[in-house]
Structure 1
Amino acid sequence: MAAEKKAYPLRISAAVLEAVQRWSEDELRSVNAQIEYLLRDALRKAGRLKPARPDPVEDDE
Protein backbone atom coordinates (compact mmCIF):
# COMPACT_ATOMS: atom_id res chain seq x y z
CA MET A 1 0.00 0.00 0.00
CA ALA A 2 1.45 3.37 -1.02
CA ALA A 3 1.90 6.10 1.57
CA GLU A 4 -0.57 8.95 1.51
CA LYS A 5 0.83 12.04 -0.20
CA LYS A 6 -0.01 15.56 0.98
CA ALA A 7 0.55 18.77 -0.92
CA TYR A 8 2.69 21.41 0.77
CA PRO A 9 3.68 24.78 -0.71
CA LEU A 10 7.42 25.36 -0.47
CA ARG A 11 9.26 28.65 -0.69
CA ILE A 12 12.81 28.08 -1.85
CA SER A 13 15.55 30.35 -3.14
CA ALA A 14 16.13 30.42 -6.87
CA ALA A 15 19.72 29.20 -6.48
CA VAL A 16 18.70 26.20 -4.37
CA LEU A 17 15.87 25.32 -6.75
CA GLU A 18 18.21 25.48 -9.76
CA ALA A 19 20.72 23.20 -8.00
CA VAL A 20 17.96 20.72 -7.10
CA GLN A 21 16.67 20.82 -10.69
CA ARG A 22 20.12 19.98 -12.06
CA TRP A 23 20.56 17.20 -9.48
CA SER A 24 17.12 15.75 -10.21
CA GLU A 25 17.92 15.66 -13.92
CA ASP A 26 21.18 13.83 -13.18
CA GLU A 27 19.27 11.28 -11.07
CA LEU A 28 16.40 10.99 -13.59
CA ARG A 29 13.85 12.15 -11.00
CA SER A 30 11.31 14.93 -10.92
CA VAL A 31 12.19 17.93 -8.75
CA ASN A 32 9.42 16.91 -6.35
CA ALA A 33 10.76 13.35 -6.08
CA GLN A 34 14.30 14.69 -5.55
CA ILE A 35 13.17 16.99 -2.73
CA GLU A 36 11.29 14.12 -1.07
CA TYR A 37 14.37 11.87 -1.46
CA LEU A 38 16.62 14.51 0.14
CA LEU A 39 14.21 15.06 3.02
CA ARG A 40 13.84 11.32 3.67
CA ASP A 41 17.60 10.84 3.59
CA ALA A 42 18.18 13.71 6.04
CA LEU A 43 15.43 12.43 8.36
CA ARG A 44 16.79 8.89 8.27
CA LYS A 45 20.35 10.06 9.03
CA ALA A 46 19.07 12.18 11.93
CA GLY A 47 17.14 9.22 13.34
CA ARG A 48 13.83 11.01 12.83
CA LEU A 49 12.30 8.56 10.36
CA LYS A 50 11.54 4.91 10.95
CA PRO A 51 13.15 2.66 8.33
CA ALA A 52 10.75 1.64 5.59
CA ARG A 53 9.65 -1.98 5.70
CA PRO A 54 10.84 -3.72 2.54
CA ASP A 55 8.20 -5.35 0.37
CA PRO A 56 8.19 -9.13 0.66
CA VAL A 57 10.07 -10.75 -2.22
CA GLU A 58 8.33 -13.56 -4.02
CA ASP A 59 10.38 -16.49 -5.28
CA ASP A 60 9.90 -17.24 -8.96
CA GLU A 61 11.03 -20.82 -8.45
Structure 2
Amino acid sequence: MAKKDVKPFLLRLDPRVHAAVQRWAEEDLRSLNGQIEFILRQALVKRGVKLTDADEKAPDTDT
Protein backbone atom coordinates (compact mmCIF):
# COMPACT_ATOMS: atom_id res chain seq x y z
CA MET A 1 0.00 0.00 0.00
CA ALA A 2 1.68 3.19 -1.19
CA LYS A 3 1.20 6.47 0.60
CA LYS A 4 0.44 9.65 -1.32
CA ASP A 5 3.14 12.07 -0.27
CA VAL A 6 6.32 10.83 1.32
CA LYS A 7 9.60 12.65 1.82
CA PRO A 8 12.57 10.48 0.88
CA PHE A 9 15.78 10.95 2.83
CA LEU A 10 18.92 9.02 3.67
CA LEU A 11 19.32 7.54 7.13
CA ARG A 12 22.63 6.31 8.51
CA LEU A 13 22.29 3.59 11.15
CA ASP A 14 24.59 1.43 13.20
CA PRO A 15 24.45 -1.97 11.42
CA ARG A 16 23.28 -3.64 14.65
CA VAL A 17 20.38 -1.19 14.97
CA HIS A 18 19.50 -1.77 11.31
CA ALA A 19 19.52 -5.55 11.80
CA ALA A 20 17.41 -5.35 14.96
CA VAL A 21 14.80 -3.07 13.36
CA GLN A 22 14.76 -5.32 10.26
CA ARG A 23 14.03 -8.38 12.45
CA TRP A 24 11.32 -6.44 14.30
CA ALA A 25 9.78 -5.38 10.99
CA GLU A 26 9.72 -8.98 9.77
CA GLU A 27 8.04 -10.11 13.00
CA ASP A 28 5.38 -7.40 12.55
CA LEU A 29 5.02 -8.15 8.80
CA ARG A 30 6.12 -4.63 7.86
CA SER A 31 8.78 -3.28 5.54
CA LEU A 32 11.86 -1.79 7.16
CA ASN A 33 10.72 1.66 6.07
CA GLY A 34 7.22 1.04 7.45
CA GLN A 35 8.69 -0.13 10.75
CA ILE A 36 10.87 2.97 11.09
CA GLU A 37 7.85 5.19 10.42
CA PHE A 38 5.81 3.18 12.95
CA ILE A 39 8.53 3.65 15.60
CA LEU A 40 8.78 7.38 14.90
CA ARG A 41 5.00 7.82 15.06
CA GLN A 42 4.88 5.95 18.38
CA ALA A 43 7.62 8.22 19.75
CA LEU A 44 5.70 11.32 18.65
CA VAL A 45 2.52 10.10 20.34
CA LYS A 46 4.44 9.26 23.51
CA ARG A 47 5.83 12.82 23.62
CA GLY A 48 2.42 14.33 22.89
CA VAL A 49 3.45 15.70 19.49
CA LYS A 50 0.56 15.97 17.04
CA LEU A 51 0.98 15.96 13.28
CA THR A 52 -0.58 18.98 11.59
CA ASP A 53 -1.10 20.20 8.04
CA ALA A 54 1.60 22.80 8.74
CA ASP A 55 4.12 19.96 9.26
CA GLU A 56 3.36 18.77 5.74
CA LYS A 57 4.15 22.20 4.30
CA ALA A 58 7.32 22.74 6.37
CA PRO A 59 10.31 23.87 4.30
CA ASP A 60 13.06 21.38 3.57
CA THR A 61 15.84 21.48 6.14
CA ASP A 62 18.18 19.18 4.22
CA THR A 63 21.42 21.01 3.62
Q: TM-score, normalised by structure 2?
A: 0.71
1:17-56 equivalent positions in 2, closer than 5 A? 17-50=18-51
Structure 1-normalised TM-score? 0.74
Give the length in aligned residue pairs: 50
Alignment RMSD, CA only? Answer: 1.7
Q: Which runs of no fewer than 5 residues in structure 2 stay unpaired? A: 52-63
Ranges of 4+ aligned residues in structure 1 off by more than 2 Å? none
Greater per-residue helix proportion: 2
Structure 1's unaligned 5+ residue stretches are: 51-61
**Higher radius of gyration, 1 or 2:** 1
Identity of aligned residues (%): 47
